[in-house]
Structures are given as C-alpha cells and as structure tokens.
Structure 1
C-alpha cells in the first residue's frame, strides 16, 4: 500500500506543481512577456517530466 502511494506521488506532485507554475507564467505575460513565457516554459517542463513519471510507474 505504501509503495503504491509513493509511486503515485512521484509523478503527481511535479505534474500538479507544473500546472500551477504554467498558469502563473501565462498570467504574468501581461506584466513582462519574456519572464512570463520563461516561467510558463519551466512549468510545462515539469508537467512533461511528471507525466513521464506517471506513465513509467504504472
């Protein structure tokens, strides 16, 4: 049971965090477009890596 929870958290946390950071970056584009796109790209990278972890551990 503990192993199942650990495997789920391994990919879910970066995916959720990446989603929040991507939204933050998209929202910041109106203030500073370059910084906003940079933050959004960083968040999208986390979403991608978290999704890879989720697929690998199933």
Structure 2
C-alpha cells in the first residue's frame, strides 16, 4: 500500500463526517456564537483537511 494513502483516507472520512454534522446543525437551528459544537466541527474539518494535504504530499513525493 502506498505511503500517505491511509492519512489521506482518514482525512476524507473525518472531513466528511464533520461537514455532515455541521450542515445538519446549521440547517436545524442556525449558528449561535456561544455554542461549542460549531467550533468543534470546524476543528475537525481542519484536522481532516490537514490529513488530506499531508497524505497527498506523501503520495506525490513517493513517485
């Protein structure tokens, strides 16, 4: 298995789950500034995107 593929797939999964949770939350009741859940979802999106980028870099460097 190519190096970088697992982090990239992990990033896709985490980002997708966080975006889904955030979209459902926004659709359900909008965004309120004092809630912690939107901040956690945003952090998870960033975490997932970082894995996608780092995994992609590993895949490109391996060639």
Scaled by the length of structure 1, the TM-score of the pair is 0.79
Gaps of 5+ in 1: none
1:36 aligned residue: 41
Unaligned stretches of 5+ residues in structure 2:
27-36
Quick one: distance in 2 between partners of 1:24 and 1:41? 12
What is the TM-score with the length of structure 2 in the denominator? Answer: 0.73
Report the count of equivalent residues.
Answer: 51
Deviation at 1:20, TM superposition (A): 0.1
- Cα deviation for residue 15 of structure 1 reads 0.5
Q: Structure 1: which 4+ aligned runs deviate by more than 2 Å? A: none
**Structure 1 residue 28: deviation in Å?**
2.1
Larger CA Rg, structure 1 vs 2: 2
Which structure ranks higher in relative contact order (CA pairs < 8 Å, sequence separation ≥ 6)? Answer: 2
- Give the corresponding residue for 1:50: 55
How far 1:33 sits from its partner (Å)?
1.3
